Each structure stands twice: as C-alpha cells, then as structure tokens.
Amino acid sequence: MNTIERVRMSEPGSTCEHITYVRFRPAGGGTTRFASREQVHAWIQQGRSFRTEHPVTGASAQVDARVSPAGTRYIATVANGRETDNLLTLPYF
C-alpha cells in the first residue's frame, strides 16, 4: 500500500480540495515520491491503495477518491471518527 506522509496545499488550505500535491512512500518500498492530487485520484480509481501515516504520531487511515458537487476530483481519508489521521493534519512540504 502507498503511504502519504506530507501534503502541499493551495490557499486557503482549509479542505482536502486544496491539496495540490502529496509526498508518499510507494508500496513495496523505494524512494519517496511526489504526485499531484489528480494523479493520486486517478491511481485510486485504477485500484491502487493509499493510506495516510502521520510521521510523528503514526496515526493512519485509508484514502479515498472523491468528486465535489462542482466536479473537482480530490482525495480524502475514509471517516473513522479520528481527526489525527486526516490528510489535513499531515505536515506540509
């Protein structure tokens, strides 16, 4: 499973739709990579799995591909009642 560790946000940076890029570790190891929100969305649609992992707390959650009512493709964590594993709580880069 691919593991998202950091996010880059556009202004105002208050929702998952403002995520522009992510930094992630690919499944099976290898070097850290960067991808756009749209690319991660497409990969999830193709069947690849992503999760968050907070580098300090270790909190983790599954990441899902979503589409806003306005048609914006974005990624968000699957609701599990914990905010500490949310994409928006990950460090920025």
Please state the domain extents for the chain: 2-89
pLDDT band at residue 80 under the 50/70/90 scheme = confident
Assessment of whether the complete model's pTM goes beyond 0.95 = no
CA 67 to chain centre: 14
User: Mean of the per-residue pLDDT values for the chain?
Assistant: 94
DSSP 21: E
